[in-house]
């Protein structure tokens, strides 16, 4: 299994600002994923982040709003840009383990005022 | 996009009883996984079942998969108060390694 940490664990931000969320894995992984979980809802995949290439975004998510970096095999960042209250969610990163299992970080709880 | 739907949306049982949750999905899959999420926290992987498997067990958990009906069930036997959480199924949609989550079942186990 993989151990994943995220920073910050939570934040309260003003609308119009941006927040960058960091995801660190304790081992090298090829595929990392970013999810959003809106209050009381299930998880929605935002994008897949592969090292050395641009992230692949799911329908309804765009790079200008959610730019992603993947500088190496153990680290990724997700930025939530020009935030509005609708962006208030838990943001989770995950990685794909060797047995096709996805392991999740603890999440970043974002509140936008 | 979400691919799965789960029912019931909410389930409340007494400690010691069994809890059954169902997941339906729309397209062919390679794998289906079940996760638990305690309130406001990260997801804990419970069990993975592959498309060529029909049943798997892990401790008090039993998962079945019926690919002809595109459905899966998670059974938790002899439930405990600590099992109180939301449970999600996730499928890989047979097109890659992206996983899509169901709507989730909120389980409450009453001591």
Cα–Cα distance list, B9 to A15, B52, B96, B105 (Å): 32, 27, 28, 5
Which of B31, B35, B43 is the closest to A100 by Cβ? B31
Q: Find the residue in B nearest to A9 (Cα).
A: B41
In this prediction, residue B92 carries a pLDDT of 84
Residue pLDDT, tens place only, A23-56: 999 999 988 999 999 988 899 999 999 888 889 9
Contacts of B41 in chain A (CB under 8 A): 106-107
Q: For residue B95, what pLDDT band results from cuts at 50, 70 and 90?
A: low
In this prediction, residue B84 carries a pLDDT of 96
Pairwise CB contact (< 8 Å): B33 & A45: no
Q: Report the half-sphere exposure of B9 (CA within 13 A, side-chain side).
A: 4
Q: Find the residue in B nearest to A58 (Cα).
A: B1
CB count within 10 Å of CB A19 equals 18
Whether B2 shows a pLDDT value over 60: the answer reads: no
Q: Specify the DSSP class assigned to residue A99.
A: T
Contacts of A101 in chain B (CB under 8 A): 33, 45, 48
Tokens of B35: 């996760």
Q: Determine the distance in angstroms separating the CA of A9 from the nearest CA of chain B, rounded to an integer.
A: 10
Backbone angles phi, psi at A87, to 5 degrees: -85, -5
Euclidean distance between the first and the last CA atom of chain A, given in angstroms as a whole number:
36
Which of B45, B96, B104 is the closest to A101 by Cβ? B45
Q: Chain B residues within 8 A (CB-CB) of chain A?
A: 1-2, 30-31, 33, 35, 40-45, 48, 88, 90, 92, 96-104
List the single best residue of B40, B53, B105 to mutate versus A (max A Cβ within 10 A): B40
Handedness of CA A62, B95, B46, B21 (dihedral sign): positive
* Beta-strand relationship, B10-14 and B105-110: parallel
Q: A1-10, B12-21, B35-44: which has the highest mean pLDDT?
A: B12-21
Tally A–B CB contacts below 8 A: 60
d(CA B43, CA B36): 6
d(CA A1, CA A98): 8
Q: For residue B94, what pLDDT band results from cuts at 50, 70 and 90?
A: low
Pairwise CB contact (< 8 Å): B2 & A107: no
Tokens of B13: 């049982």
In this prediction, residue A98 carries a pLDDT of 74
In this prediction, residue B3 carries a pLDDT of 63
Give the contacts of A54 (CB within 8 A, at least 6 positions apart): A63
């Amino acid at each position: 299994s993989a151990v994943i940490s995220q920073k910050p664990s939570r934040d309260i931000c003003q609308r119009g600002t941006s927040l960058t969320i960091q995801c660190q894995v304790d081992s090298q992984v090829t595929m990392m994923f970013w999810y959003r979980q809106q209050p009381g809802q299930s998880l929605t995949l935002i994008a897949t982040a592969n090292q050395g290439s641009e992230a692949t975004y799911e329908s309804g998510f765009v790079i200008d709003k959610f730019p992603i970096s993947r500088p190496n095999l153990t680290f990724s960042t997700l930025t939530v840009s020009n935030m509005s209250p609708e962006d208030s969610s838990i943001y989770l990163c995950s990685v794909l383990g060797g047995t096709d299992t996805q392991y999740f970080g603890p999440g970043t709880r974002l509140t936008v005022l | 996009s979400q691919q799965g739907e789960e029912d019931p949306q909410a389930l409340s049982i007494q400690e010691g009883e069994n809890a059954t949750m169902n997941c339906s999905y729309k397209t062919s899959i390679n794998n289906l996984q079940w996760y638990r999420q305690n309130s406001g926290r990260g997801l804990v992987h419970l069990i993975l079942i592959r498309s060529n498997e029909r049943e798997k067990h892990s401790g008090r958990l039993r998962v079945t998969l019926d690919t002809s009906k595109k459905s899966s069930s998670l059974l938790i036997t002899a439930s405990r108060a600590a099992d109180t959480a939301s449970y999600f199924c996730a499928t890989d949609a047979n097109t890659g390694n992206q996983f899509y989550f169901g709507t989730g079942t909120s389980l409450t186990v009453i001591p």
